[in-house]
Amino acid sequence: MNPTAAAPAGAAPTQASPSQTLSRGIRALEILAAAQNPLTIAELADAMGVHRSVAYRILRTLEDHSLLVRDDAGRVQPGPGLAVLARGVSRNLQTAALPELTQLANSLDMTAFVTVWDHQDCITLVTVEPRHSGATVAQHPGTRHPINAGAPGIAIQSALTEAEWNLLATGIPYRPEAAEARRTGYSSSHDEVIAGVSSLAAPVRVPGGRPAALAVVYIRSVHDPATVGAALAECAARIERQLA
């Protein structure tokens, strides 16, 4: 029997096995992205749970594609190739959001950012810090936190009704605050993701994709939260019009 022959009509397709090498390479990039400092090959191999020779082969391939670089001491860190790949992630959303983020950050004196929904988490896609401020909360691209914590996650949920959310079978409860955010156009949180930090967010509906959130974070502000929330909702609406 030909092993490459097609499966009989009506038969369930065979699920392809995941590539262990590819998975390890991606895991290496995740570890390096989360590390505070460059890692030695031995440190990276330990974090990956593989022999040093295996880590070395993976790193050589990633290095060939500029996805990581090694310094003069041989320590490894993320490479410029990752920035090239990141440019293509939600490209239209990034392009539409950047002017709005800049305006929000500088007018409110707060860090403004867009988060996208990834499985159980929110991931910061793009961020802008105010031009003239020395006391803002930093929010770096790639930062991730659980979607059921914080204003961005609430805002993402609020783009859907509770019934629509439950149909997705995420296993994550629909927060009561999301229903309120549907009414007001924005969500709020305090002390949920970072101790002492407040956040406000508005949903951004992405045609053909999962909703995102436009958000700000701050420790204290002279602005009324309702005023900031309304500004976020207006900016989110302008972004949606550009994406339509």
The answer for residues whose C-beta is within 8 angstroms of residue 116's C-beta and 6 or more apart is 90, 93, 122, 123, 125, 210, 212
Classify the C-alpha dihedral 54-58-64-68 as positive or negative. negative
Q: Point out the least confidently predicted range of 7-16, 48-57, 136-145.
A: 7-16
What pLDDT shows up at residue 7?
Answer: 46
Distance CA 31, CA 89 (A): 20
Q: Rounded to whole angstroms, what are the CA distances from 186 to 113, 155, 208?
A: 14, 6, 22
Answer whether residue 224 shows pLDDT above 60: yes
Mean pLDDT to the nearest integer, 71-80: 86
What pLDDT shows up at residue 133?
Answer: 62
For residue 156, name the pLDDT band (cuts at 50, 70, 90): very high
Mean pLDDT to the nearest integer, 3-25: 61
Per-residue pLDDT tens over the stretch 54-73: 988 988 998 888 888 888 88
Distance CA 167, CA 200 (A): 26
Q: Point out the least confidently predicted range of 64-68, 175-179, 237-241.
A: 64-68
Answer whether residue 199 shows pLDDT above 60: yes
What pLDDT shows up at residue 3?
Answer: 44
**What is the residue-averaged pLDDT of the chain?**
86
What pLDDT shows up at residue 114?
Answer: 95
* Cβ atoms of residues 229 and 202 within 8 Å: yes
Q: Rounded to whole angstroms, what are the CA distances from 97 to 8, 124, 192, 238, 243?
A: 48, 12, 25, 9, 10
What pLDDT shows up at residue 2?
Answer: 47
String of DSSP letters for the chain: --TTSPPPTTPPPPPPPPPHHHHHHHHHHHHHHH-SS-B-HHHHHHHHTS-HHHHHHHHHHHHHTTSEEE-TT--EEE-THHHHHHHTTTHHHHHHHHHHHHHHHHHHTSEEEEEEEETTEEEEEEEE--SS-SSPPP--TT-EEETTSSHHHHHHHHTS-HHHHHHTT-S-PPPHHHHHHHHHS-EEEESSSSTT-EEEEEEE--TTS--EEEEEEES--SS-HHHHHHHHHHHHHHHHHHH-
The model's pTM: 0.72
1: which 2 tokens?
């029997």
For residue 103, name the pLDDT band (cuts at 50, 70, 90): very high
Per-residue pLDDT tens over the stretch 122-155: 999 899 998 876 666 777 888 889 999 999 999 9
